[in-house]
Amino acid sequence: MKETIIIAGFGGQGVLSMGKILAYSGIMQDLEVTWMPSYGPEMRGGTANVTVIISDKRISSPISDSYDTAIVLNQQSMDKFESKVKPGGVLIYDTNGITQPPTRTDIEIYTIDAAAESARMGQAKMFNTMILGGYLSVKPIVEMEYVMQGLKKSLPERAWKFLPQNEAAIKHGAQIIKQVQ
């Protein structure tokens, strides 16, 4: 098993931390992981992306130009990464902020209205874990038990009081993700 995922959106959307939770979950299940971010000025309000690779074998290259899954959270990232999903791969996007939906026909496409849903629930900060939950329901590469451990490990202790909400958001994400193609 080897899953190469790109998560891309605006800085501040929790792109990097979503990747971190996923990577830590992999570690808890004793898998190999890499987490390679874009860094620099992009971190400061512009676009941000992170490549996470989870594998049951030693990971050779942490750099990849094609992805098993792309999680896309703004139009710029759609423009950049739609073409880089491997044929037969998965593209997940939040419809909020996407003006030009994907056109590929050789991949599975899912939408998740996590921005709207988390805002409706008054928990806008759970946006990224909700999407993570949606992704994991499509690609259950890590068992939920380890996801919860990974979640705890990747949050600082002062944020542990939000663990139940995050767990709920992960589960809720699995409910609201929709396959459109």
Partner 1 sequence: MADREVKLMKGNEVIAHAAVRCGCDGYFGYPITPQSEVMETLMELKPWETTGMVVLQAESEVSSINMVYGGAATGKKVMTSSSSPGVSLMSEGLSYLAACELPCLVVNCQRGGPGLGTIQPSQGDYFQACKGGGHGDYHLIVLAPASVQEMYDFVELGFDLAFKYRIPSMLLADGAIGQMMEKVVLSPQKPRRSDEQIVQECGSWAAHGKGGRKQRNIVTSLFMQPDELEEVNNHLQAKYRQIEAAEVRYEEFMCDDAEYVLVAFGLSARICSATVEMAREEGIKLGLLRPITLYPYPYEPLKKMAERGVKGFMSVELNTGQMIEDVRLAVEGQTPVAHYGRTGGIIFNPESVLEALKNNLLK
Binders in 64-123 for partner 1, by CB under 8 A: 64-65
Which range binds partner 1 by CB under 8 A, 58-66, 122-130, 131-139, 161-169? 58-66
Count Cβ atoms below 10 Å from residue 36 Cβ, excluding itself. Answer: 16
Q: Does 45 bind partner 1 (CB under 8 A)?
A: no
Query: Minimal distance in Å, beta carbon 31 to partner 1?
Result: 9
Maximum separation of any 2 CA atoms in the chain, in Å = 44
Q: Does 24 bind partner 1 (CB under 8 A)?
A: yes
Query: Parallel, antiparallel, or unpaired for β 85-93 and 108-111?
Result: parallel
Query: For residues 3 and 81, what is the distance between their CA atoms, to the nearest angstrom?
Result: 16
CB-wise, 121 or 148, nearer to partner 1?
148
Instruction: Output the CA torsion 54→101→106→8 (10° steps).
Output: -20
Query: Minimal distance in Å, beta carbon 115 to partner 1?
Result: 26
Query: Minimal distance in Å, beta carbon 109 to partner 1?
Result: 24
Indicate the SS3 state at residue 47.
Answer: strand
| Among residues 10, 11, 17, 37, the one that binds partner 1 under rule CB under 8 A | 37
Q: Does 153 bind partner 1 (CB under 8 A)?
A: yes
Count Cβ atoms below 10 Å from residue 75 Cβ, excluding itself. Answer: 14
Is residue 141 a contact partner of residue 133, using CB atoms and an 8 Å limit? no
Is residue 91 a contact partner of residue 138, using CB atoms and an 8 Å limit? no
| Among residues 10, 11, 17, 27, the one that binds partner 1 under rule CB under 8 A | 27
- Binding site residues, partner 1, CB under 8 A: 20, 23-24, 27, 32-37, 39-40, 60-65, 153-154
